[in-house]
Amino acid sequence: MGFGFDYEKTMWRWFVKCSMQWVQVAKIRNVDERAWIVLRGTKSMNQRSARFSTLGDAIAALFDHEIRALLEQENMHAMEFIAMAADDGEMN
């Protein structure tokens, strides 16, 4: 995955079995507005992206099954994840 963006950082990248696609949440380098991006897809399927102003907005755009898969993979507590979503968004 990549879409030709220059990433400052990737927060998470994980495979979602129920949708059989990769999902990535990343921050794009040298972008003032809508610097956070959610990428979905595989090389053999259509790849899609959506851009957001804050990390919280990007997290809010994730589907329930994507969130469950991410929490499981990262062994992250749901409250920690909710706190990130509620943050004003930079997560430098």
pLDDT digits (tens, 9 = 90+) for 4-28: 678 899 999 999 999 899 999 999 9
Tell me if the pTM is above 0.85: no
End-to-end CA distance of the chain: 22
pLDDT > 70: percent of the chain: 87
Give the pair of three-digit tokens for residue 50: 């959506």
Q: How far is CA 87 from CA 55, 77, 80, in A?
A: 8, 16, 11
Q: Which residue has the higher pLDDT, 39 or 82?
A: 39
Residues in the chain: 92
Q: What is the three-class DSSP state of 71? A: helix
Give the pair of three-digit tokens for residue 67: 């969130």
Residue of 57, 60, 66, 51 whose CA lies nearest to 17: 66
pLDDT digits (tens, 9 = 90+) for 45-63: 778 999 999 888 999 999 9
